[in-house]
């Protein structure tokens, strides 16, 4: 059975690199600037396209230099993917390490390409350098990456290609005849195909990682208040509906706390809306610190906030409200007073609307009794 012509495989890899480079380039242009690393990911397929050109086109002059440039491009492509992963998660590129590895590799390739030619050593050096880059990317992603499909796909691609590279390195170091890149043999086709496929899958994985980040940011914008960063009304009510359904099904108690900042209109009128915004943010910080990890907290409207306390009866919810009052009495310049209405689920016939109504009525009772207190409903 005849093996696929290596030049055809290289041409196919170059075409795929061109397409992915264009896609990632436009992705960088149209995605939010908060998505870091896209520029490096867009340049990575471009570097691999350069490698395909220099590997696939016969050298018109100085074939040693031609091969040296080709090897430099293929290594650069994987280095740019690595730098892109680091920047995507907000980490510095650590250029001193990257440039040291790249520069040393290129110097060794230059020597064994012209000074003391050795195809075997050149293959070992390039293979080992790319393996080191893959190891660095894998370690970084396992430490910092999300546990989602795009990251798992990138990790799997890096891991499988790393295994191929290590087998290739072992073969090169233990056998005298390592073949030729353009030799039409099954083993050379396999190694060459691994490079082409890994470049394609890393490009797709990078695109999926960026798209997933955009989706996450859009979901956050749709469910969180822009000023305070807490849940917006739709999101907090949605969590309350889910908790109410669980309570109806399993009989677990839960509580709601409706909160309203006291004399907030006077704060805005006296000090201005910018100061009022700072007071709201400070209140949210204090309330979050007082609430428990499982609790949900959101802005219900204006200076009114709602907290959901799962698996919490009324007698357990009251100490949480007390902690909020205490947190707002620390002497901070932005400290404010808050009135709180608390209610708990009373059984399967108790609807969420009824609970919200009771919490709101208890809140206004706290206002009527002098503010800066908690009442139950």
Dihedral pair phi/psi, residue 258, rounded to 5°: -95, 125
Q: Which residue among 219, 243, 303, 304 is the active-site one?
A: 303
Q: Which residues, in sequence order, are CB contacts of 205 under 8 Å at separation 6+?
A: 150, 151, 153, 154, 157
Q: Report the C-alpha gap between 81 and 69 in whole angstroms.
A: 19
Spatial contact of 296 and 237, defined as CB atoms under 8 Å apart: no
Q: Report the C-alpha gap between 257 and 223 in whole angstroms.
A: 19
What length is written for the chain?
A: 377
For 52, 198, 299, 365, the CA distances from 3, given in Å and listed in that order, are 19, 20, 65, 83
Residue 111 DSSP one-character state? I
Strand order in the sheet with 304-310: 296-301, 304-310, 254-261, 338-344, 374-376
DSSP letters along 290-323, please? HS-TT-EEEEEETTEEEEEEET--HHHHHHHHHH
Element (H, E) at 341: strand 338-344
Dihedral pair phi/psi, residue 304, rounded to 5°: -105, 135
Spatial contact of 342 and 326, defined as CB atoms under 8 Å apart: no
> Is 183 a residue of the active site?
no
Residue 148 DSSP one-character state? S
Q: Report the C-alpha gap between 246 and 244 in whole angstroms.
A: 5
Residues that are catalytic: 303
């Amino acid at each position: 059975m005849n093996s696929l012509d290596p030049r055809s495989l290289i041409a196919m890899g170059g075409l795929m690199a061109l397409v992915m480079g264009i896609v990632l380039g436009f992705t960088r242009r149209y995605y939010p600037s908060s998505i870091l690393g896209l520029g490096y990911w867009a340049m990575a397929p471009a570097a691999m396209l350069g490698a395909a050109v220099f590997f696939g086109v016969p050298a018109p002059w100085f074939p040693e230099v031609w091969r040296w440039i080709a090897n430099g491009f293929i290594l650069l492509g994987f280095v740019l993917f690595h730098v892109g992963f680091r920047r995507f998660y907000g980490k510095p590129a650590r250029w001193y390490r990257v440039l040291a590895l790249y520069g040393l590799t290129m110097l060794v390739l230059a020597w064994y390409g012209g000074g003391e030619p050795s195809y075997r050593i050149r293959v070992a050096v390039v293979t080992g350098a790319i393996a080191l880059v893959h190891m660095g990317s894998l370690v970084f992603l396992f430490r910092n990456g999300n546990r989602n499909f795009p990251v798992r796909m990138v990790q799997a691609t890096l891991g499988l290609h790393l295994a191929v590279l290590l087998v290739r390195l072992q073969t090169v170091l233990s056998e005298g005849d390592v073949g030729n890149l353009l030799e039409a043999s099954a083993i050379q086709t396999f190694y060459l195909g691994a490079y082409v496929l890994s470049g394609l899958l890393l490009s797709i994985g990078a695109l999926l990682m960026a798209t997933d980040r955009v989706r996450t940011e859009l979901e956050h914008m749709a469910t969180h208040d822009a000023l305070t960063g807490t849940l917006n009304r739709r999101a907090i009510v949605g969590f309350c509906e889910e908790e109410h359904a669980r309570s109806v099904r399993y009989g677990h108690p839960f509580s709601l706390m409706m909160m309203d900042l006291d004399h907030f209109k006077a704060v805005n009128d006296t000090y201005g809306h910018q100061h009022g915004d700072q007071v709201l943010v400070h209140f949210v910080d204090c309330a979050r610190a007082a609430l428990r990890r499982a609790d949900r907290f959101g802005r219900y409207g204006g200076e009114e906030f709602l907290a959901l306390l799962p698996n919490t009866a009324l007698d357990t919810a009251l100490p949480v409200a007390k902690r909020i009052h205490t947190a707002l009495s620390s002497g901070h310049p932005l400290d404010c007073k808050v009135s709180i209405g608390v209610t708990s689920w009373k059984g399967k016939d108790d609807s969420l609307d009824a609970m919200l109504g009771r919490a709101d009525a208890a809140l206004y009772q706290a206002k009527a009794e002098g503010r800066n207190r908690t009442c139950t409903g």
